């Protein structure tokens, strides 16, 4: 099975899930706009964190697909489950934006963390399935690059898992960790990560 | 007519219809979040069932297009009608999620079943039109693979037809069948279906 | 300028505008579902008419692009204006669905007609700009096919113009004409149009 | 890293952000439709301005990508930040449409201007990063064309910056400037810009 249509389906989901995030931002027409906009910074922050997170996962997914020779049905189905989590992200993003300053902060931070943890888990699943025994890899895929990807991806579920657990003690700290993870990946691939 | 733009239009519809499903999930800001999320499991289940269903139909559509040499206007128009049903799926998914536990369960389960039955019917129509007398097939399309596809696709309208009729007696059982069909196809192409 | 990215931008708009149509269909949770669904047939009809219309315009746009060698900035800008009308279609579709049975039927039918008339006008503009003096055509584009396209496209603004004027006398007749136009194109490219 | 998937992700964002603009247009079912439509001209104008603006930025982004040989991680990450601003445009467009005639006009015009200023800034950032020392350019990219792009892009942040500052004195004048900028680019690439 050729891999180009998996890519175009995945690109559609990445782009669309990222664009739908904007629907989470709304204002109340009956109140003055200026103060509302200043007051809405958690919505803007949540928008930015989730957009950057989806963008980075998309870029990494490009990297994965680039290493593959072909895909099989099993890989395709794990991809569907992985994209199901990606497309889910706008919902907990909305919860985080609206509730991080209120009494529902813990539930919102948990919902966000569990979603991102699941996303990272399925992303690892599709990579490990493809890379194990070089099952779906291109003949010319450099084994050191493959091992480097494997090592760096495994950090995803761990860091989101930790940040999710932190939500049980401090939802705000947990939200800070979600932002920090996105920022780390952004800087890692830019300032530090130019080596690629 | 080249087939690549049919594919990109179809991939767009698959990806957007699947991503739009998330708009069906909403919470009431005036009530506590945690209990609402636990209480909303039918929404999450309906999201997962429809997302997986659309993903599998998308993967099967890839398989169909892969067998074709070219497309003609008739095939294109049947594809438009088929995609019209795909893009409709978010609506009955919302009905199923909201009403399965209430007095409207029967109408919701019927709406879902009729939509999926129509989807399966038009999917079969485009395949049979393409495959009859090998009308649009590639010269090198293996006839045994073609016959295998024909046999397995015909199960779609039958199983959704049965599940829809079940809704007249028990909407909950019917919803369980919708989930079972999605799960069967998922497992069939993964655990059992590795043979491909 | 290569034409492939114009195609992918246009395909995105076609697919997305068609998929967004489903958001026009909604029910009131406080009323019984079954009767509402039966009563909502104008919404379903409007969904089908607009989806098929967008699908056919998309297929015709494929046909246009297929005849082109390359595109220039002017063509690109007319395409943007054309797509601006395509992406607008979900709004008058909603008006038509909700108001065709009430006192706002005339305004709704006019809004729908003007939108489709504008769409057809800009679609003709981009085709005529490309075809005049074979400005952007491929060297091997058959002049008879080009003339055939020119003749058939010019019917678009005329038929939508007439249907829009009919709305001033009878909005329901006008809505029937919008359906008839979509149906005609669908049948023309299938039952009659197999000659292509 | 190949550049084709960056393009398809970007095309997705451009197309969806432009199509989502239509969700900003709504009418109140409890009031007469005709007068509302006539009264809603700021919504239609805002829709057109933002759609054309996104379309032009998309066309220019095509132009940029056309000059590149390849992309690196840093370019990819600046692209994600740039697209984050693109996908944000529907929100201030809605504010502008709803509030330009009311007491919140200044806040709305500022929000629109800041968003477009940020968009233009990040668009320049990705172009300058790619062009500096011909870092990512194709070997055959004409240096004069490259310099021409550099000169014309730098006008983006300046004109949006000025228009944003004007909002502090006259939001309506500022909205007029946003429309004028879109119109200028549209005419520049068509009537004047045929030289390309």
Residues D29-59: tens digit of each pLDDT = 888 999 999 999 999 999 999 999 999 999 8
A38 touches chain B (CB under 8 A): no
Residues 76-95 of A with CB under 8 A from B: 76-78, 80-81, 83-84, 87-88, 90-91, 95
Other CB atoms within 10 A of residue D33 CB: 22
pLDDT at residue number A190: 59
Interchain proximity D104–A34, CB inside 8 Å: yes
In this prediction, what percent of chain B has a pLDDT beyond 70?
Answer: 95
b/e per residue C152-172 (b: at least 16 CB within 10 A): ebeebbebbbebbebbeeebe
Distance from CA of A196 to the nearest CA of B (A): 31
D186 touches chain C (CB under 8 A): yes
pLDDT at A94 over 90: yes
CA distances from C137 to C140, C141, C169 (A): 8, 6, 42
With a CB cutoff of 8 Å and minimum separation 6, the contacts of D47 are C84, C88, D21, D22, D24, D25, D93, D97
The tally of CA atoms less than 13 A away on the side-chain side of residue D129 is 19
Residues of B in contact with A80 (CB under 8 A): 51-52, 55-56, 59, 186
Distance CA A107, CA B95 (A): 26
pLDDT per position as a tens digit, A6-38: 888 898 999 999 999 999 998 888 899 999 999
Interchain proximity B74–C27, CB inside 8 Å: no
pLDDT per position as a tens digit, D144-157: 888 888 888 899 99
pLDDT per position as a tens digit, D66-78: 899 989 888 999 9
Interchain proximity A104–B23, CB inside 8 Å: no
A109 touches chain B (CB under 8 A): no
Residues of A in contact with B63 (CB under 8 A): 1
CA D94 to chain CA centroid, Å, is 15
Mean pLDDT of B118-122: 97
pLDDT at B139 over 80: yes
pLDDT per position as a tens digit, A157-171: 999 999 999 999 999
* Ranges A173-177, B88-92, B144-148, D86-90: which has the least confidence: B144-148
Residues of B in contact with C7 (CB under 8 A): 5, 8
- pLDDT confidence tier of residue A195, bands split at 50, 70 and 90: very low
pLDDT at residue number C92: 97
Q: For residue A68, list its beta bridge partners.
A: A137
pTM metric for this prediction: 0.93
D56 touches chain C (CB under 8 A): yes
Tell me which chain A residue has its CA closest to the CA of residue D87.
A19
Name the neighbours of B, counting chains with at least 3 Cβ pairs within 8 A.
A, C
Residues of A in contact with B45 (CB under 8 A): none
Kindly provide the ipTM of the predicted complex, given to two decimals.
0.91
pLDDT at residue number C2: 67
Residues of D in contact with C28 (CB under 8 A): none
Residues of B in contact with A2 (CB under 8 A): 66
In this prediction, what percent of chain C has a pLDDT beyond 70?
Answer: 95
Residues of D in contact with A33 (CB under 8 A): 95, 99, 104, 107-108, 111
Other CB atoms within 10 A of residue D67 CB: 19
Interchain proximity B83–C55, CB inside 8 Å: yes
Interchain proximity A33–D76, CB inside 8 Å: no
Distance CA D22, CA D38 (A): 17
pLDDT at D195 over 60: no
Interchain proximity C19–B8, CB inside 8 Å: no
∠ CA(A53), CA(A55), CA(A59), 5° rounding? 115
pLDDT at residue number C16: 93
Q: Which of A70-74, C70-74, D121-125 has the highest mean pLDDT?
A: D121-125
A15 touches chain D (CB under 8 A): yes
Length of chain A: 196
The interaxial angle of helices B155-166 and B171-187, nearest 10 deg, is 160
Chain D interface, best mutation among C80, C82, C167, by max D CB count within 10 A: C80
pLDDT per position as a tens digit, A142-151: 888 888 888 8
* Token reading at D3: 């550049």
Cβ contacts from A onto B, under 8 A: 98
Mean pLDDT of D180-196: 70
C165 touches chain B (CB under 8 A): no
């Amino acid at each position: 099975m050729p891999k180009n249509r998996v890519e175009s389906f995945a690109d559609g989901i990445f782009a669309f899930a990222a664009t739908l995030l904007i629907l989470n931002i709304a204002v109340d027409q009956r109140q003055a706009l200026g103060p509302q906009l200043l007051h809405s910074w958690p919505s803007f922050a949540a928008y930015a964190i989730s957009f950057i997170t989806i963008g980075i996962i998309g870029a990494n997914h490009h990297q994965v697909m680039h290493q593959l020779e072909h895909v099989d049905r099993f890989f395709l189905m794990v991809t569907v489950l992985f994209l199901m989590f990606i497309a889910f992200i706008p919902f907990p993003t909305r919860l985080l934006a609206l509730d991080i300053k209120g009494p529902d902060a813990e539930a919102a931070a948990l919902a966000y963390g569990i979603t991102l943890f699941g996303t990272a888990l399925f992303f690892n699943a599709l990579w490990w399935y493809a890379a194990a025994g070089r099952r779906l890899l291109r003949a010319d895929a450099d084994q050191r690059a493959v091992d480097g990807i494997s090592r760096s991806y495994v950090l995803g579920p761990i860091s989101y898992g930790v940040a999710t657990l932190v939500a049980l003690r401090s939802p705000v700290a947990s939200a800070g960790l979600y932002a920090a993870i996105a920022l780390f990946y952004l800087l890692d691939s830019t300032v530090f990560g130019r080596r690629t």
